[in-house]
Amino acid sequence: MHDMRFTIPGQDLNREPFAVKIPDFQKKSEVMITDRGYKCRITNIVPLSGLERLFQLRIIDPLERAVFNFRPGQFLMLEVPGYGEAPISISSSTSNNEFIELCIRKAGHVTSALFEARQGAFVSIRGPFGTAFPMAEMQGHNVLLIAGGLGIAPMRAPLFWINDHRDQYKEVFLLYGAKEPSQMLFTYQFEEWKKVSHVQMSTIVENPDASWTGRTGMITALLDEFTFDPKETYAIVCGPPVMFKFVCSHLDRLGIPMNRMFVSLERRMHCGMGKCCRCMVGSTFTCLDGPVFDYWSVMNLKEAI
């Protein structure tokens, strides 16, 4: 007969050793990186236009700086402590391990706080997250880059990549459209892209002002200027959501295969790790399966564009 007053001691119930220390994940060692942000110093702030600025960040810890490797098209979560996080696409060169450049528009809560920051301030980044433009797959083909407005920001990483590996690609075209001439970003780099990277480039605006001497209209009008074999061409399209539909359908009519057109989607994001479900598009996550989708997947996914 057992003693009814027997009690099970509380302290050894189910207490796993890692309850008091950091868990050890054998499968995914990067899980720790995604929880803890890399501390960065803002080393430079370049005003690009009235609303956009280019922030240059440097990861302070040398080991973390070496570990932070990304591919063109990926994004990171930028955190301003106390204000929150925002997903920002990386617009610097993948071969530049020293500095990360982010082209940011002052739009919301976090970015407004960031615009108050001075050079030397500390912010935190997590990442990189998401899929990338398949630069290796594009080798030996023409590359058509179409950017609208702020869409030039994610486009800079593939441009830098192409500059680094220019001999692997045939003709490279960059079409860049903006609402107004004053909203055109990175104008100081246009000559560099044309002359150093050998990119055939053309720009267009919708609402010209007195100083504008270039073309006026929709961005698809620029496609007349260049001759290329659509069967041998890959396209990357970045811009506001309304742009995807008419640009991609235009390229489809030209004869570029659907699986060779890539778009970078934009959604609300809170975690970047496929947990919060805020960035769900159709049945996939923008943070895990995106932000780079090929046009076939975008057509296939519900509510994508």
Partner 1 sequence: MIYKVISKTEFKAFIDALVQNNSSFGPRKVDTGSNGKPIYQFMPVKSVDEIEFDYTVTHSSAKHFFLPYRDELSHFNFSDGNWEQEIRYEAPPIILIGLRPCDINAVNILDDVMLHGAYPSPYYLARRKNTFIIGMDHLPLPDCFCHSMNRHTVNHGFNLFCSDIGDSYYLSINSSKAFNFLKEFRIEEPTYENNCSLIERRKNIKNSFETRIEVSGLPCFLDIEFDSPIWQKWGDKCLSCGSCAMVCPTCYCYSVEERFDVDLKGSTRQNHLYSCNLVDFAQVTGGHNFRPKNGDRLKYRYYHHYRGFAANDNQQICVGCNRCGRACLADINPKDVINDLRLERESCMICVSPSPDKT
What does the binding site for partner 1 look like in residue numbers (CB under 8 A)?
Answer: 2, 4, 6-10, 13-16, 18-20, 22-23, 25, 27-28, 30-31, 34-37, 39, 79, 81-86, 107-108, 111, 121-122, 124, 241, 266-268, 270-271, 273-278, 280-281, 283-285, 288-289, 302-303
Burial track 156-182 (b if 16+ CB lie within 10 A, e otherwise): bbbbbbbbeeeeebebbbbbbbbeebe
Closest approach, Cβ 104 to partner 1, in A, equals 11
In the complex, minimum distance from the CB of residue 113 to partner 1, in angstroms, rounded to a whole number: 10
Q: CB–CB of 206/180 below 8 Å?
A: yes
Q: How far is the CB of 267 from partner 1 (least distance, A)?
A: 7
Least Å from the CB of residue 6 to partner 1:
5
- CB closer to partner 1 out of 68 and 193: 68
> For residues 40 and 305, what is the distance between their CA atoms, to the nearest angstrom?
34
In terms of CB distance, is 221 or 305 closer to partner 1?
305
Q: Is 42 or 162 the residue whose CB approaches partner 1 more closely?
A: 42
| CB-CB contact of 87 with 105 (8 Å) | no
Q: CB-wise, 39 or 170, nearer to partner 1? A: 39
**Which is nearer to partner 1, 117 or 254 (by Cβ)?**
117
Q: Cis bond leading into 134, ω under 30°?
A: no
Tokens of 297: 């997947």
Query: How many residues belong to the chain?
Result: 305
Q: Closer to partner 1 at the Cβ: 93 or 264? A: 264
State the minimum distance, in angstroms, from the CB of residue 229 to partner 1: 35
Closer Cβ to partner 1, 116 or 225, answer by number: 116
Q: How far is the CB of 81 from partner 1 (least distance, A)?
A: 4
Q: At closest approach, how far in Å is the CB of 23 from partner 1?
A: 5
